[in-house]
Structure 1
Amino acid sequence: MTVPAAPLPVPPAPDAFRRVVGRFATGVTVLTTSWGGNDYAMTANAFTSVSLDPLLVLVCVDLEARFHDAAVAAGVWGVSVLSQHDRATAGWLATRGRPLHGQLERVPVSRGEATGVPLLSTALATLECATHAVHEGGDHSILVGEVLSAATPTDGEPLLWYRGQYGAHRHMH
């Protein structure tokens, strides 16, 4: 006799889920790539290391973000880890509908030696990555990148994201 499986519980409402994951403090990054003669950038906090052998990281990118298709097509992208002094940059590059052309004009960048993607000059740390895999993840893609270069251009305190707002680790409660 087979015992029927218990029904799956109803998942939480999206607002409840957001409140829960909002309690997980994360660093703030800017993802960058170049494709078709344009530079693309977006603020992201869904970034983490994956593997030391090979060196892999992942980022989660909304399917509707302009950066998504450009990064997938280019096959290379950069990660700039922001300092608390980069709050305005994070806000600007998180603004939906901002102009594509010239979006990095107010941000000091240099070109990565391995890929040529723009990297923020004020970043605490930068990585250049080649796409290793792309996985479906609901309304996002999970881009796994093989790290081609790693640098720590500046020192300072990290910019954090917690409970839906930017902050510094010393001042968050």
Structure 2
Amino acid sequence: MAIDAQTFRASLGRFASGVTVVTTAFGEGQAGLTVSAFSSVSLDPPLILVCIDKRSSAIERIDGSQAFAVHVLSESQVDLSNRFASRSEDKFAGVSVARSALGNPRLEDTLVFLDCRVSQKVDAGDHFIYIGQIEEAEIQEEKQPLVYFSGGYRSLAK
């Protein structure tokens, strides 16, 4: 028998994870959302995955553009995480954004930036799993990651 949703959430809430913002653009619109379900998949070719709720408005834009960007947030970017986790109509208002080589909105000063082309889309329950091939990566070595654990943000202590 499968566990109930409450036990599932409580169990996985005890798994510390980094915090990412996924952005994409298609046509005249752009979308962004905070995602903690992010993982490496393959070194050769360089693949990652993100899991996105099927109700997300980003789905239509990722499917249209066949591209998305992943921004790994630094410990100073809690506000950015909260902004993109909200249901706000314009999450990009007041945020400085450039365009990546693949046309994705690129946020400034994140710990890691990954520009990805969709390699595969997998239907998985109430989410879609997008596997992306990394076309460009940029790392800010001097920053520390934002961590999410047990319902709250954390910082890594050295």
TM-score of the pair, normalised by structure 2: 0.94
Identify which of 164, 168, 171 aligns with 2:151. Answer: 164
Give the superposed CA RMSD. Answer: 1.4
Flag structure 2 segments of 5+ consecutive residues without an equivalent. none
CA distance in 2, matches of 1:67, 1:155: 31
CA distance in 1, matches of 2:141, 2:92: 19
| CA positional deviation for 1:109 | 2.4
Instruction: Report the counterpart of residue 72 of structure 2 in structure 1.
Output: 81
Alignment of 1:24-35 (within 5 A): 24-35=15-26
| CA positional deviation for 1:70 | 1.1
Alignment of 1:15-164 (within 5 A): 15-96=6-87, 98-100=88-90, 103-112=91-100, 114-153=101-140, 155-164=142-151
8 A contact 1:31–1:77 mirrored in 2? yes
TM-score of the pair, normalised by structure 1: 0.87
* Structure 1 residue runs of 4 or more that deviate by more than 6 Å after TM superposition: none
Aligned pairs, how many?
A: 158
CA offsets 1:47-71 (integer angstroms, 9 cap, x no match):
1110011111100000001112211
8 A contact 1:63–1:140 mirrored in 2? yes
User: Percent identity among equivalent residues?
Assistant: 34
CA distance in 2, matches of 1:32, 1:50: 19
